[in-house]
Structure 1
């Protein structure tokens, strides 16, 4: 009897060990979208997990943004390949490093994250530093959360910390297709009640930003300076927020009022910024750099932005959602100019 019980117990232990080992093996790889050569399409591959460092967090990714500037980077920016991009993401925490305190983040929590350090957002899981991980307020869901992370927090930083935007103050915002300009319009109109003149590249986008609260709109053209000066009664705008890049920056810089401010907040930081007119101020906005310069402010800004979204101050805009396996179709969708705001990649987790 005792021998039979011992054998049964031993078999149970062996079975349990086998099951646990199978679970470990099945979870030791995950799907990710990989660039193997610059300008080539993504491939979906099984990627091996790596162990967490002491202050890192493993996230089971649900959504990650895909922007027009991301697509441009895939084709022009050199990185060691193979490479998995993606940095604005949301999901559930499944593992934390030894030094991650419970008051920072806990397993099972829903979070948003900015993976500026290692990227890797287009995958079923992503490892980020605990300092880049943000708890989601009750009214911000996993799908909306990535939309607010970079674009909205950049505008909150510019308009609250660098140049306080006042109610009814005139601000000129260039709104391209990456969502940065649209985020700035959202912040300026709904948080500060400012008068926004939006500069876009088409009438279709003009209609959209007017619906979002823009006071006036201008389509980018050779006559854009004349139109802006007419709208501002020849004074120019007190604040210009460029969310597109150098080709607009050089023109918009001529439309700023004396003692005004130009914010260059394009997702791709230009290597050459045109010389601005005299007696104005220029600031470059980059959350990736602020993360290093002032980690506490970086963390506060993003938490504050998510809290404002929780309170209903901001509105998320999603052009379309594609599954991870269809990421190349999402890129084609962006190339064909079918989007106005951000595109989301959804994981099968």
Structure 2
């Protein structure tokens, strides 16, 4: 079978497509015939040894897949050969066949396209955990989503609306803002490209305050860098700032702002939360699938790439061109 491999730390251009032996499922495992792989921000980091986890090389990037169960290992009774599933693997997904613990596979209906299925769990899982479990949202509160047109960002926009929040989508271009408005955002604003000087940061704070009518209650920050501090300066009393990711760099936030606003800075590490409390994650997944069936949320796949261009898919995400999700198809 073919697999896209990281054999040395580096950017997407270092990935190589090779033939490797087909795997066999062990006890409690299943073999998946992979049909699609969702691309996420951790993929841009893990191949450069910049992620929290550093798998032994060679490994394949790709943390979530969709496909068909091809074979069952000993003791697997909750799945069957031929069943359509989503698999959460963390890494290892960019290959034609994947062995995965049966407990990390979620059956999906025939009506769900493989591309949408591969774009669902990580982004919506992260954003739902962030908003439901970390943000303590109250209906009618104002949610600012930074980087709102990206995978986790647009998921936060949709979920925020489904949870009764007033959603403000902040993006780098008007085209991206318009995309977010089409997905349910109540308001949108365009921020300038980093780096931002102090005057530009102050202007961004004023812009957020104006469009929100005075300030925001929850900030979903999937960007970081120079955008974090001005956003917190536009936060309401007892607001919650959610730390999601840092494509624009890790910000240095003056802690006096948390005192002045009596606000919280809350980390969001969905992968670790799943490992610590898998039952809570299963409940969240059930609630998200119900929202999907009701039409309240729907993964938006903006671009697909074949497996041999998986490196280009990661680069496309790194270049911040994506609106919604990027998916690799097999």
Q: TM-score, normalised by structure 1?
A: 0.81
Q: Which residue of 1 aligns with 2:195?
A: none
Distance in 2 separating the partners of 1:340 and 1:289: 26
SS of aligned partner of 1:240: strand
State whether residues 254 and 277 of structure 1, in contact with CA within 8 Å, keep that contact through their aligned partners in structure 2: no
Q: Which residue of 1 aligns with 2:217?
A: 238
Aligned with 2:302 (options 309, 313, 319): 319
Aligned with 2:65 (options 89, 97, 104): 89
Aligned with 1:214 (options 185, 206, 211): 185
1:106 maps to 2:92: no
Distance in 2 separating the partners of 1:150 and 1:335: 17
C-alpha displacement of 1:68: 4.9
Q: Which residue of 2 aligns with 1:288?
A: 271
Change (3 A) 1:344 1:168: same
Change (3 A) 1:161 1:148: same
1:261-304 CA distances to partner (integer Å, 9 max, x unpaired)? 12222387x87773461211232222210122101112222233
State whether residues 36 and 328 of structure 2, in contact with CA within 8 Å, keep that contact through their aligned partners in structure 1: yes
Distance in 2 separating the partners of 1:89 and 1:247: 33
Q: Which residue of 2 aligns with 1:199?
A: 170
Q: Which residue of 2 aligns with 1:136?
A: 108
Distance in 1 separating the partners of 2:134 and 2:16: 42
State whether residues 69 and 267 of structure 1, in contact with CA within 8 Å, keep that contact through their aligned partners in structure 2: no
Q: Which residue of 1 aligns with 2:293?
A: 310
1:258 maps to 2:241: no
Which protein has the larger Cα radius of gyration, Structure 1 or Structure 2? 1
Q: How many residues align?
A: 312
Q: Which residue of 2 aligns with 1:47?
A: 20
C-alpha displacement of 1:337: 4.4
Distance in 2 separating the partners of 1:227 and 1:147: 32
State whether residues 177 and 342 of structure 1, in contact with CA within 8 Å, keep that contact through their aligned partners in structure 2: no
Aligned with 2:311 (options 303, 328, 345): 328
Distance in 2 separating the partners of 1:342 and 1:137: 20
Distance in 2 separating the partners of 1:159 and 1:334: 23
Further displaced range: 52-61 or 312-321: 52-61
Q: Which residue of 1 aligns with 2:209?
A: 229
* Structure 1, unaligned runs of 5 or more: 1-29
Aligned with 1:70 (options 19, 23, 43): 43
State whether residues 68 and 84 of structure 2, in contact with CA within 8 Å, keep that contact through their aligned partners in structure 1: yes
State whether residues 41 and 317 of structure 2, in contact with CA within 8 Å, keep that contact through their aligned partners in structure 1: yes
* Structure 2, unaligned runs of 5 or more: 193-199
Change (3 A) 1:186 1:176: closer
C-alpha displacement of 1:331: 3.8
Distance in 2 separating the partners of 1:64 and 1:291: 20
Q: Which residue of 2 aligns with 1:277?
A: 258
SS of aligned partner of 2:119: helix
Coordinate RMSD, CA, aligned: 2.5
State whether residues 134 and 242 of structure 2, in contact with CA within 8 Å, keep that contact through their aligned partners in structure 1: no
Distance in 2 separating the partners of 1:247 and 1:57: 44
